[in-house]
Structure 1
Amino acid sequence: MALGLLVTVVLARGLGPAAFGQYAFVVAVVTALATPFGPALQQLVTREAATRYASDDGKRILALLRWGDRQVAVAATLVGLVIVCAGFWFGGSESRWPLVGLGVVALPFMGFEGLRAGGLAGLHRVVRAQFPQMLVRPVALLSILGILFAVDSLSAGAAVMAFVAATGLAFAASVALWRYARPLGRNTPETSAHKHWRSAWGRFTLLMVTGGLNAQLGLLFLGAVSSDQQVAALRVAIQGGTLVALPLVIVNMVIGPYLARAYHQGDKGQLQALSRRSAQVALAVAGPAALILIAWGGPLLGWALGSEYARIAAWPLAALVVGQTINVAFGSVGWLLNMTGWETDSIRGTVVGLAVHAALALTLIPPFGAQGGAIAMATGLVATNAATAFWVVRRLRIVPGPFPVPGRPVR
């Protein structure tokens, strides 16, 4: 995520607010389109692989990956064709659609890489699982952007092509890592499990779509009703806010398989301990970072990106930092539900947050631009966590967050 922030700095400086806003819009659209066969399948594979790993059922894990590959191939092809046709139909010399059509080439790479990352995480190879997306892709993207900048060929279109190429390299790295770590045994068909996988995939897709909309709604709405400069301002603020959320992201990557195993073994005490300790660690790291960004966000933006970004992105950054700090304080509420089979309740919490986010975005973005989008996003994030925490307490009988609740027994 830190490398992702560096990519943002390089692109924001190299492209300028207008062209960077175009690039940010394209990446937001492609990320949203990849949700069903990227993050959704990845979380499903992580949970199922962790459960099967605890039962020493390697054949089922291999069958799950083979089934997932077929779903990604079909879904990415269909979505890509629709977007390319829309680009030809609606596109023009001043339209963003041609760039979106170029960006969708990354969709199958994102899906196949996510499957293998989920499989590796389920096998407790957590660091290896994140290596392609968190290291290979941003390093490759930075390298390509550096070459483009050196030959004076950096543009919004070139940046999108660099994003596609870097995503392809991340997929290649995930294939190599999976071949090394995959369970031994033959890849035998498991048609009896397909119905269960499809049903769970549908729930995870709905969860990821609502969550992805929660993350991208402000950018998409700004791109539709406001200027590229405002899109760039919100994109920069979002990237800055992710620094505060980074400790929780890392914690989620690590504890996800252990949550699934503890629940599979019926160990509620271990679930409670994992929840509390992970939230304590994440908040201890995120708190100081949040204070720095709130107090000196404007000067830091001016130093890293230039005075124009300091002017347009400082207040959106402050709003999102507050929201992300509260997000970290709640802990891994979504993962607690997703890894224990209660993803339907996680969807309910995310829908609550999305409704709050959408209502505020429609109200605040037209008059306030990026600042309104940041307030809407931060408030939606808090609402999501509050609603999801309610379902964690109700379903799992544990109290999320870093602190115990006085007088509230956990049964």
Structure 2
Amino acid sequence: MLTALARGAGVAFVLLVSSLGLKYLAQVVLAQWMGTVEYGIYEYVISWILLLAILAELGLPTAVVRFIPEYSVQEDWGRLRGLIRGSWQLILLAGFLLALGGVASILGLSTIRQWAYSTPMLVGIWMVPLVALAHLQSEMARAAGQITLAYAPFQVIWHLLVMLGAFVLFQQNQTLTSVPAITLSILGLLVVVLVQLWLLRGRWNQQVYCTPPIYKPREWLAVAFPLLLTAGFHILLSQIDILMIGAWVGPKAVGIYSVAAKTSIWASVVLQAVNTVAAPAFSALYVQGDRQSLQRLVSTVAHWIFWPSLMIALCLIGFAESILGIFGSEFVAARGEMTILVLGQLVNVGAGSVGYLMSMTGHQNQSAYIFGYSALLNVVLNAIAIPMLGTIGAAIATATTMAMWNIWLHILVVKYLGIAPSIVSTLAAKISSRR
């Protein structure tokens, strides 16, 4: 099992690093061509879009991963066609209504006071239904076992299109502002959604299109709603610092801070890759009741995750100035924020696979509560720290919240599963066994 997991984790790591590397390259070139202020406006708008898109999704992208295999195995083509068409229509409607509501809110706010983000937000708000649909179709492809289709259009092609368009505009004008960059993102997403739609059509059993659709929206949404809450809490935890900095400090601070935040994520890339492969094994061993094998696997995974992550974190901290300098000289000012966020990520990787251990063993509701309380705490801490310390305060608040929910989940894993998942507990057990 461990050999297969190691091989799978290696493949997942390569794919994840490739995807993250391309995203990071896109951020580098946009930051260089746009400068701190315009890049900050762009990142602020994107943060709002990601948050609103979660609401537009209604939890359905995660729900289809459950229902599509179920309907396919049962050869229930009517329900499968209804799910494919119905989820698409529901998300399109929700996204369009959210975009209209966003336009009304932005116009109303603009009449009260000057807002630097008004025009970029009015343009960017129409990205909401496209992001939601692209995510839905990615998850549909994943549910159908089409991994390349699941990740390539949304994670790779979109960023390539944005970079290509940005390069053309920059060569023509020798400058790039937020509104054209956002427009490029919308056009790129539109291409991605249409390509996904076309390619997905050939992936379903042809009987799907010969069967009248059967719609079960209540059944789908009953499963999707708790997933919507969890996804919403996750996106809040990842975006609230940027949104609050943008509202209280300004776009330049957003641009500088967002580079630090995105760079710090590299410290958790091994955690993401290993968890992707190990999660099914956690579930299988738990169902079999083999706690001893589960503990051995979790302990091994803790080592796989922590030591490479520690090396990455040390490199990020040690070469912070050089890494941030790639974006431009002004971004070097974020080295303090990046160091704090990387330390928060070290707690995250040191805690081990606590999130997946909870969700893969039927304790997802407890996890949802923890992420909900953590999101609320993150808002409160940022509200206190940002006015006092600026972006450093946001980094402290975010890293503190990250450490808190990891420690909390660790306590619950020990309580409910009798498993010690962290690198600290793994090392302690190893030392005590030698005595």
Shorter-chain TM band? 0.7 to 0.9
What is the CA–CA distance in structure 1 between the aligned matches of 2:139 and 2:283, rounded to whole Å?
Answer: 15
Shift, 1:213, TM fit? 1.2
Q: 1:82 to 1:41 in 2, by over 3 A?
A: same
Asked whether 1:330 is paired with 2:358, we answer: no
1:6 corresponds to which of 22, 25, 50: 25
Determine the C-alpha separation between the residues in 2 that align with 1:64 and 1:259.
29
Q: TM-score, normalised by structure 2?
A: 0.82
- Provide structure 1 residue ranges, at least 5 long, that are not aligned to the other structure: none
1:33 matched residue in structure 2:
52
The within-5 A match list for 1:345-360 is 345-360=366-381
Moved more, 353-362 or 208-217: 353-362
Rounded to whole Å, the distance in 2 between the matches of 1:254 and 1:335 is: 11
C-alpha separation between the residues in 2 aligned to 1:98 and 1:78? 19
- List 4+ stretches of structure 1 deviating above 6 A: 270-274
Q: Deviations over 1:300-329 (max 9, x none)?
A: 212x0232211x210111111111222223
Contact 2:57-2:94 within 8 A present in 1 as well:
no
Which whole-Å deviations, capped at 9, do the CAs of 1:207-257 have from their partners, x for residues lacking one? Answer: 12121111111111111111222111210111101212223333444556x
| AA matched with 1:91 | S
**Change in 2 beyond 3 A, CA 1:39/1:284:** farther
> Which residue of 1 is the match for residue 319 of structure 2?
296
* Structure 2 letter corresponding to 1:116: Q
1:145 equivalent to 2:166? Answer yes
Match of 1:307 in 2: 329
The CA deviation at 1:275 is 5.3
**Residue pair 2:61, 2:136 contacting (<8 A) in 1 also:** yes
- In structure 2, the residue matched to 1:120 is 141
Q: CA RMSD in A?
A: 3.0
Secondary structure of residue in 2 paired with 1:406: helix
How far residue 40 of structure 1 moved from its aligned partner, in angstroms, is 3.4
Check if 1:232 corresponds to 2:255. yes
Cα contact 1:346–1:391 (8 A) shared by 2: no
- After TM superposition, the structure 1 = structure 2 runs for residues 6-405 of structure 1, keeping only pairs within 5 Å, are 6-38=25-57, 40-49=59-68, 55=73, 59=77, 61-91=80-110, 94-152=115-173, 154-183=176-205, 185-186=207-208, 189-191=213-215, 194-254=217-277, 258=280, 262=284, 266-269=287-290, 279-302=302-325, 304-310=326-332, 312-338=333-359, 342-395=363-416, 398-401=419-422, 404=426
Per-residue deviation, 1:121: 2.3
Counterpart contact for 1:351–1:384, Cα < 8 Å: no
2-structure distance, mates of 1:100, 1:178: 31
User: Could you give the per-residue CA deviations for residues 172-222 of structure 1, whole angstroms, max 9, x where no partner exists?
Assistant: 33324423433553265454x533321222111111212111111111111
- Are the aligned partners of 1:58 and 1:185 in contact in 2 as well (CA < 8 Å)? no
Of structures 1 and 2, the larger Rg is shown by 2
- Structure 2, unmatched stretches of 5+, are 1-19
Q: How many residue pairs are counted as aligned between the two chains?
A: 402
Identity of aligned residues (%): 23
| More displaced 10-residue stretch of structure 1: 22-31 or 334-343 | 334-343
Mean alpha-carbon deviation: is it higher for 24-33 or for 85-94?
85-94
SS of 1:91 mapped into structure 2:
helix
Matches of 1:260 and 1:56, distance apart in 2: 26
Whether the 8 Å CA contact 1:259–1:339 is kept in 2: the answer is no
